[in-house]
Amino acid sequence: MKIAVAGAGIIGACTAWAAAKQGHSVTLFEQDTAMAHTSRSSSKLLHGGLRYLETGQFALVKKALHARRFWLKHAPDLCRPLELLFPIYARRGRPKWQVGIGTRLYDFLAAGSGFPYSAWLGKAETLARCPTLLSDGLKGAFSFYDAQMDDYALGQRVVEQCRRLGVSVAEHHKIESFGQLAEFERIANAAGPWAMALRSLQGGTPAYAIDWVRGSHIFIDRFQPQALMLPVPQEKRIFFVLPYQGKTLIGTTEVRQSHPDAQRPSETETAYLLAAYNAYHSEKLTANDISGSFSGVRPLIKSAADPSNATREWAFERVGNVLHIYGGKWTTAQLQGEAALQELLK
């Protein structure tokens, strides 16, 4: 079958890959260059999403926990297992019992995925692993495992696999009307944050709405080898402090916006991330320590008043020969691509 995929982020690339593996004739159209947008602006985690357990997204977490293995197996040079610590402080953030239940459930849902189990580390060991953490009130930390990737390089690897299987990758080629794609029997709209612009070309009321939620990260040169997941003070949100390519990556924010374009992280966002980091570390950071930053827009399916609680699941809408793909996560993109292909071939 002749298939067109619009959008060469990780979701479009995985959809094209799935189709090419089945021998279809595929063209992957990209308005800019492959992996130029959200898919290179992630937190670089291949993760189940410990915090999604709080919103009851058990099926998604289980799926994502097992999906980590796919990437580690197929691109061991671009991903690695990552041990994270979730420090517990007296009278601050979630209580120890609650995080303990979460990490146990994470282990249970991950069973068979080949990752080490979570464990409790006492205060001395936590500080030995991360000497800059504030010791006042520290009880210890839960250790648990996810994986880390180079999102841009891994995405390019998928595009490379597509090319090897004969996919024609048309960069700098924006789809402005489906008339442009009349020669194709099936079309997948994998335009991520721009999916609604393509959907609107067909008229009618879309089955889903997209929430554009910007997430920003900052880099600092001071290298912190221990990955941390920490609650943002006075909030339900969490943030990460991650070793990444010789630097430390701190993120992320969740700012709802009214358009799909990523913009530079705002001063408010960088101040928010610095304050969150400083609330837990003895060596304080200032804006002068920031050596880089980036932001990306999550194309989330509108499902909650607070974007933090919005589902990270994917959804499909079929209109004529076009399959519109909404939502999803980097970690589960390969599964999403396979599922999209099944829908597309119906």
Ligand X SMILES: Cc1cc2nc3c(=O)[nH]c(=O)nc-3n(C[C@H](O)[C@H](O)[C@H](O)COP(=O)(O)OP(=O)(O)OC[C@H]3O[C@@H](n4cnc5c(N)ncnc54)[C@H](O)[C@@H]3O)c2cc1C
Query: In the structure encoding, which two tokens stand for residue 106, read together?
Result: 């994470």
Burial group, residue 217, by CB count within 10 angstroms (0-12, 13-18, 19+): buried
Q: What is the DSSP string of 254-299?
A: -EEESSS---PPPHHHHHHHHHHHHTTBSS---GGGEEEEEEEEEE
Q: Which CB atom, from 64 or from 127, has the smaller least distance to ligand X?
A: 64
Q: Which of 19, 45, 61, 210 binds ligand X (CB under 6 A)?
A: 45
Gap between the terminal Cα atoms of the chain: 12
Q: Which of 30, 107, 150, 269 binds ligand X (CB under 6 A)?
A: 30
Residue in the shown chain whose Cβ atom is closest to ligand X: 9
252 forms part of the interface with ligand X (CB under 6 A) = yes
Residue 246 · residue 300 · CB < 8 Å: no
Residue 214 · residue 251 · CB < 8 Å: no
3-state helix, strand, coil in the chain (%, to 5): 35, 30, 35
Contact segment (CB under 6 A) with ligand X among 123-131, 135-143, 269-277, 292-300 equals 292-300
156 forms part of the interface with ligand X (CB under 6 A) = no
Q: Which of 175, 238, 242, 250 binds ligand X (CB under 6 A)?
A: 175
Q: Which of 3, 10, 84, 188 binds ligand X (CB under 6 A)?
A: 10
Contact segment (CB under 6 A) with ligand X among 16-24, 43-51, 75-83, 280-288 equals 43-51
150 forms part of the interface with ligand X (CB under 6 A) = no
Burial group, residue 136, by CB count within 10 angstroms (0-12, 13-18, 19+): exposed
Q: Which CB atom, from 120 or from 152, has the smaller least distance to ligand X?
A: 152
Closest Cα to residue 217, out of 266, 164, 152, 284?
266
9 forms part of the interface with ligand X (CB under 6 A) = yes
Q: Which of 16, 17, 24, 38 binds ligand X (CB under 6 A)?
A: 38
Q: What is the DSSP string of 53-120?
A: GGGT-HHHHHHHHHHHHHHHHH-TTTEEEEEEEEEEETTBSS-HHHHHHHHHHHHHHHTTS-PPPPEE
Q: Which CB atom, from 11 or from 167, has the smaller least distance to ligand X?
A: 11
198 forms part of the interface with ligand X (CB under 6 A) = yes
Q: Which of 29, 142, 239, 244 binds ligand X (CB under 6 A)?
A: 29
12 forms part of the interface with ligand X (CB under 6 A) = yes
Burial group, residue 98, by CB count within 10 angstroms (0-12, 13-18, 19+): exposed
231 forms part of the interface with ligand X (CB under 6 A) = no
Contact segment (CB under 6 A) with ligand X among 38-46, 81-89, 303-311, 316-324 equals 38-46
Q: What is the DSSP letter of 133?
A: B
8 forms part of the interface with ligand X (CB under 6 A) = yes
Q: Which of 87, 102, 299, 307 binds ligand X (CB under 6 A)?
A: 299
Q: Which CB atom, from 165 or from 197, has the smaller least distance to ligand X?
A: 197
Closest Cα to residue 201, out of 174, 171, 172, 183?
174
Q: Which residues have a Cβ under 8 Å from the Cβ of 260 and sit 6 or more positions away?
A: 192, 193, 194, 196, 197, 212, 297, 299
336 forms part of the interface with ligand X (CB under 6 A) = no
Q: Which of 87, 193, 231, 307 binds ligand X (CB under 6 A)?
A: 193
Q: Which CB atom, from 7 or from 140, has the smaller least distance to ligand X?
A: 7
Q: Which of 27, 39, 156, 161 binds ligand X (CB under 6 A)?
A: 39
Contact segment (CB under 6 A) with ligand X among 159-167, 190-198, 264-272, 283-291 equals 190-198
Burial group, residue 294, by CB count within 10 angstroms (0-12, 13-18, 19+): middle
269 forms part of the interface with ligand X (CB under 6 A) = no
Q: Which residues bind ligand X (CB under 6 A)?
A: 6-12, 29-32, 36-39, 41-45, 47, 174-175, 190-194, 198, 215, 252, 296-299, 328-331
